Amino acid sequence: MLRSIIFDMDGVLVDSMPSHADAWIAVSKEVGAEVSRDDVYEVEGANHILGIEWLFEKAGKQVEPHLYEEIKRKKVEYFSANASIAPFDGMFECLRELKQHFSLAVVTGSDRYTVNGIMDDFFPDVFDTIVCGEDVHYGKPYPDPYLKAVELLSIEKSECMVVENAPMGVESAKRAGLFCVGVPTYVPPFKLNAADIVLSDHPSLYEYLEKLTPSGN
């Protein structure tokens, strides 16, 4: 029986990835890497450690361990100062209905400072559990973030499902042994083929989720 639904944040709950991509692009220039929004969308969901390693790899450089925190700080500062973020139309209403029937969780590669701001602004008191990028050493595409969420929710894997919009996120959920629904917000649908179901857009997601509730049957 389904007891919990776990959501990715960026690209599923809020339309924020263009701002994340621009922040990474700005930071990447400082290390001599040329990256585009599409490049960032390919590794969406990775925590800052994996994101930084990817940037340095693009620049043909190795990461000096003492630089991680400095680069992370610059990325977060740029994002916080320039981000344009809004929840997807209908998301809050959808979550409010789901919360009457399921426990809800968020698993994201974003830092807790950013996540707390978004939750406070758009989804106060909605989620029972939140796993952020710094909560696990190995972020998406490793299974650790979703395994952490299952542990915190105190449920069996068979009792929850994941909603993801990024290839790394889908890989993470499936490696954790979870049922995954894909929504291709920023990438072509075929990039999410590893998901159990790939929907076309957010309206189709709301329709799918509504059918999971007793009132939707």
CATH 1.10.150.240 residue ranges of the chain are: 17-82
Q: Is 25 helix (H, G, I), strand (E, B) or coil?
A: helix
pLDDT digits (tens, 9 = 90+) for 21-71: 899 889 888 878 888 888 888 777 777 777 788 877 877 877 788 888 888
Report whether the peptide linkage leading into residue 203 is cis, meaning its omega lies within 30 degrees of zero: no
Segments in the chain forming alpha helices (H): 17-30, 37-42, 48-58, 68-82, 91-98, 112-122, 144-153, 167-175, 202-210
| pLDDT of 117 | 92
The whole-number pLDDT of residue 60 equals 81
pTM score above 0.85: yes
Dig out the tokens for 191 from the structure: 């990039």
Assign a CATH topology to domain 17-82. Answer: DNA polymerase; domain 1 (1.10.150)
CATH 3.40.50.1000 domain position(s) in the chain? 4-16+86-216
CATH 3.40.50.1000 fits 4-16+86-216, yes or no: yes
